[in-house]
Structure 1
Amino acid sequence: MTERWDRVRAPVVDVLLAVVLTVATQVELSLAEVVEGPEWAQRLTFLLATLAVGLRRSAPLGAALICAAAMAAQTPLGAAGVVGGFLALMVVTHSVALRSERVAACVGLAGVLIGVHVYDVLFWEETSVADLVGNAAIFVGIWGLGRGARRWREHAEQRRVEAAVAVRDQEERARRAVREEQTRIARELHDVVAHGISVMTLQAGAARQVLSDDQPAVTAALLAVEDNGRRSLDDMHRLLGLLRPADGPDGGLQGTGVADLVERTRAGGLPVTVVTFGSDHDVAPSLALTVHRIVQEALTNALRHGSREDVVVRLHYAPDEITVEVDDQGRGGGGVGTPGSGLGLIGMRERVAVFDGDFVAGPRDDGGWVVRARLPRIGAPV
């Protein structure tokens, strides 16, 4: 709606400006004390000059040439004490510089200067150097302002386009990061769940072998457990094949020990303090892996973007939930994966979402960075 109104408003404004200049100029001619030459010719040439202003957007070069020609034709006819024609010439000079390409703008300027200096050529004995230079300087200056405004507009448009492209690229990177993180989560959960199913299947087979032959119902039930377990493992392996990139890493478990991760981070030069509340001995493997990944991403972020100040890792193992907080007291940035991209935060948020938890990351009041995640135990994947 706004763009449509702008398209309608621009020509209306131009027409109104042309009408106002035309009326004002014709009134000036009527009130002028001295009008040399045929009055009708003066009125006609000024009429052409002022009406050309209405074309300053749709045909800026044409408007400049028409106005300049009208003023050039008016000069040999005599003189009239009005300024409306020169105001119109100034308007179209600025418009041809602002709205035309370089060649057309230069042609327009040349036409304007010719129109302005016809008097100087015809009556050179009455012309001074100051008048010649002054008149040229006025219109060259106006033309230069128009070209400067055009370059500023082009630069602003280029920045707008670049900003739009950057936003689209960032959104695409974010979507790709989400897909990749979801794939990694699926692969890791596969390893955890596959291990549990394998153990269950083996235990069912062992139990079946020690049963006596007079318990056929139990034997059949255990056989069904073994068979379903093997089928489930086969299905999971086939589905995982769709998630793994053809040339990518296996993506299996890489350990879930936070202590080892902290030691490696300390070796990298980042002071890390770990504060633990509760015990992690009964944490489900998938949940422990998520805790590990959150701490890993946050510490990597502190290494890349921080100022090597102290980092405090707080782990609270409550009966119903696990709370993870990584407090970077330096000046860590918000993104991991690509500097400043925020893709690491996306990955952490996706992992927490698997467990219907809460995730918050943001700057500290004193300039640091803090990551907090709450992971419910009830209903968590195993």
Structure 2
Amino acid sequence: MRAELGRRPPAGDVALAVVVGVLLTVGALSAPDTQPLDYLAIVVASLTLVAWRRAPVSILVVTTACMLLYATRTNPGPPAAFPVLVAIYATTRAGHRIPMVVAGVAFLGGTLAASLAEATEQSVQDLVDRTVLLLGWFLAAAVAGMVSKHRLAYLHQAEQRALEAERTREEAALRRAGEERLRIARELHDSLTHSISVIKVQAGVAVHLARRRGQEVPGALLVIEEASGEAMRELRATLEVLRDSADEPPGSGLDRLDELVDRARATGLPATVTISGDQQALPAAVDRAAYRIVQEALNNVTRHAGRASASVHIGYGPGELIVQVDDDGDACPSGSPPVPGIGLTGMRERVAALGGRLHAAPRPGGGFTIRAELPARDLS
């Protein structure tokens, strides 16, 4: 509630003070016995109303004292209560009931006593009527302040409930996401882990038996053994990510680029690696994305390019990393756009998530090229 009050512009408060001051000054000018001290009391009481939201109790004390002085000296009638009514409203709105009651009793009692001292028998009834009228005004100001106080409290509670509901929805969404990650992790562990383990074990047994018999181990078998081991390592890293999303493990990066290219060569794909520029530390997300792009590109060459060779180029530039993989295999004509598959779509998603650019298209002289431009700055 305080924050809501602090955001209100003071123009309305200034206007209120000016209007009250003008009304009281006009009434004082029409009274022949008004003195400079009375005008000073009017000015002070009116000007203090500018701060009625920030210091209601202090404003109540000042306005009550000034208007009581003015009312007992000149007997201006009900208009003298205007600043006090505003202060009573503000004090009640802020929740200070005792100061409001004390100020109301002091003002009404003081003005009534001063008027009775000069009243005649004919004017007593008018005096009583005027006092009852002022009492009604004071009660109305207090009730209005209480209504405003409860309204602001209701708005504050509604805002807090909305914030709590939003936080609850976010927590529920995070909880559901965590449960889904755990479900996926269990499914991967129960299915892929077992299958890959069987492949790795069987390949290892076959290699062992071949060596034990003095036979030459087929290169494809060695590739299967190594690739299954790498798949197990990366699957474990993926399961760790799914089970704990707060800290993603490093996974594979360009530091394992040589191993990746060696596995591609072991499958019969001639591949070369060229690195240009000054090598620099890369953000973990960029490092992993670069590795995955090269991995997917080499896999595509092996599966779709026929008898081809591939060249991998890693270029370090100022604030940018260039990853380019070219092959000279079979490809669509240069005028035909490639049909995006899962691998190419995954590349685009990775690059787009990092704010980079991806170019994938047939080469004019035959073959295919994939070029990714990744930001090499810290993305956090």
TM-score, normalised on structure 1? 0.51
Residue 216 (1) aligns with residue 210 (2): no
Once the two structures are superposed, what CA deviation does each residue of 1:269-290 show, in whole Å capped at 9, x if it has no partner?
A: xxxxxxxxxxxxxxxxxxxxxx
Deviation track 1:232-273 (CA, whole Å, cap 9, x = no partner) reads: 55775687578669xxxxxxxxxxxxxxxxxxxxxxxxxxxx
Q: CA deviation at 1:164?
A: 0.8
Q: What's 1:76 paired with?
A: 72
The aligned counterpart of 1:26 is 25
Give 1:132 shift: 3.8
Q: Name the residue aligned to 1:146.
A: 145
Native 8 Å contact 2:89 2:145 kept in 1: yes
Structure 2 vs 1, CA of residues 211 and 149 (structure 1 numbering), >3 Å: closer, same or farther? Answer: same
What is the DSSP-based 3-state SS (H/G/I as helix, E as strand, rest coil) of the residue aligned with 2:9?
helix
Report how far residue 29 of structure 1 moved.
2.6
SS in 1 for 2:76: coil
CA distance in 1, matches of 2:50, 2:213: 105
Partner of 1:155 in structure 2?
Answer: 154
Q: Which has the higher contact order (CA 8 A, sep 6+)?
A: 1
- Residue-pair matches, total: 236
| Contact 1:197 1:229 (C-alpha < 8 Å) held by counterparts | yes
Contact 1:50 1:85 in 2 (8 A): no
Task: Decide whether the 8 Å contact of 2:72 with 2:115 is kept in 1.
Answer: no
Misfit runs of 4+, over 3 Å: 3-8, 122-125, 127-134, 198-215, 220-245
CA change 1:136–1:27 in 2 (3 A) is closer
2:95 corresponds in structure 1 to: 101
Shift, 1:46, TM fit: 2.6
Q: Distance in 2 between matches of 1:17 and 1:38?
A: 23
Whether the 8 Å contact between 1:67 and 1:88 is mirrored in structure 2 is: yes
Q: How does 1:293-304 map to 2 (within 5 A)?
A: none
Name the aligned partner's letter for residue 48 of structure 1. Answer: V
Q: How does 1:207-356 map to 2 (within 5 A)?
A: 216-218=216-218, 221-222=220-221, 225-226=224-225, 229=228, 232-233=231-232, 236=235, 240=239
Does the alignment pair 1:64 with 2:53?
no
Residue 118 of structure 1 aligns with which residue?
Answer: 110
Deviation at 1:211, TM superposition (A): 12
Q: Secondary structure at the match of 1:9?
A: coil
| Residue of structure 2 in register with 1:51 after alignment | 47
8 Å contact kept, 1:49–1:70: yes
Q: Which residue pairs with 1:194 in the alignment?
A: 193
**Residue in structure 1 matched with residue 81 of structure 2 by the alignment:** 86
Q: Against the structure 1 CA distance between its residues 38 and 129, is the aligned structure 2 distance closer, same or farther, given a 3 Å change threshold?
A: closer
8 A contact 1:204–1:226 mirrored in 2: yes
* Residue range with higher mean Cα deviation, 89-98 or 232-241: 232-241
Could you tell me how far 1:62 is from its partner in structure 2?
Answer: 1.6
Q: 1:95 to 1:115 in 2, by over 3 A?
A: same
Equivalent residue number for residue 321 of structure 2: none
Larger radius of gyration: 2
User: Residue type of the partner of 1:17?
Assistant: L
> Is the CA contact (8 Å cut-off) linking 2:49 and 2:59 kept in structure 1?
yes
Give, as a single letter, the amino acid of the residue that structure 2 aligns with 1:25.
Answer: L
User: What CA deviation, in whole Å up to 9, does each residue of 1:218-241 have, x standing for no partner?
Assistant: 3x6436635654675577568757
Are 1:9 and 2:9 an aligned pair? Answer: yes
- Offset, 1:161: 1.6
The root-mean-square deviation of aligned C-alpha atoms, in Å, is 3.9
- Alpha-carbon separation, structure 1, partners of 2:233 and 2:16: 80
CA shift, 1:157, in A, is 0.6
Q: Is contact 1:201–1:226 with CA below 8 Å preserved after alignment?
A: yes
Identity of aligned residues (%): 24
Letter in 2 for 1:85: A
TM-superposed deviation, 1:43: 2.5
* Equivalent position amino acid for 1:45 in 2: A
| CA 1:40–1:190: 2 relative to 1, 3 Å | same
What amino acid is the match of 1:110? Answer: V
Q: Which runs of 5 or more residues in structure 2 are unaligned?
A: 245-344, 347-380
Q: Give the structure-2-normalised TM-score.
A: 0.51
| Matched AA of 1:40 | P
Q: Unaligned 5+ residue runs, structure 1?
A: 246-354, 357-382
Are the equivalent residues in 1 in contact too, given 2:211–2:217 (CA < 8 A)?
no
